[in-house]
Structure 1
């Protein structure tokens, strides 16, 4: 039980400013762009490019980041495995939100179309 709590606490305190460049490097290595990365972040959180820049500049942690976010109502459509965990089965809301973000960044890096990542109906 304490392992899970430590895991959740670690996510809460993790700096978005530290993780963002890793997300960017990952998608750019796979031929995607920062514009596309910002588009998926905006879809999930409601944060535009300016907001993301301010969150990075203020060194916001994920707890603060998601507290300020307006989560997309279709975020629950994000399913699958990320780092060995089923996103839809994660019980801690903050940890699940961080994993939602991880999952859509992975989908972007893997070449999935933006319409599919943004859960737009066909």
Structure 2
């Protein structure tokens, strides 16, 4: 298991998802996909708490990482998990500096991906 950074959100699940998406777009990145696991579970006749994974990125940052370590493409684009747990909305993600260490990527190469910290912090700020 790998470590996930976890930040509680003072907002409900749907509002937190919208805030994260807005912060991503305001920073010049693109949301590539939105996987609604709870909706998919409901479609299969199952129930689970609200759980959405957003994948996003910007080729200007991600490409340099993949050129330095092609295997890092497995972890890109970046992912943010927004889920409800015991009535609390949580925003979780893997810090790019941690996966950079796994692949031996230089700090300056992965630096543009660190924007994920700013995105999440702004999204959960009151």
Q: Structure 1 length as normaliser, TM-score?
A: 0.29
| More strand by percentage | 2
Q: Structure 2 length as normaliser, TM-score?
A: 0.28
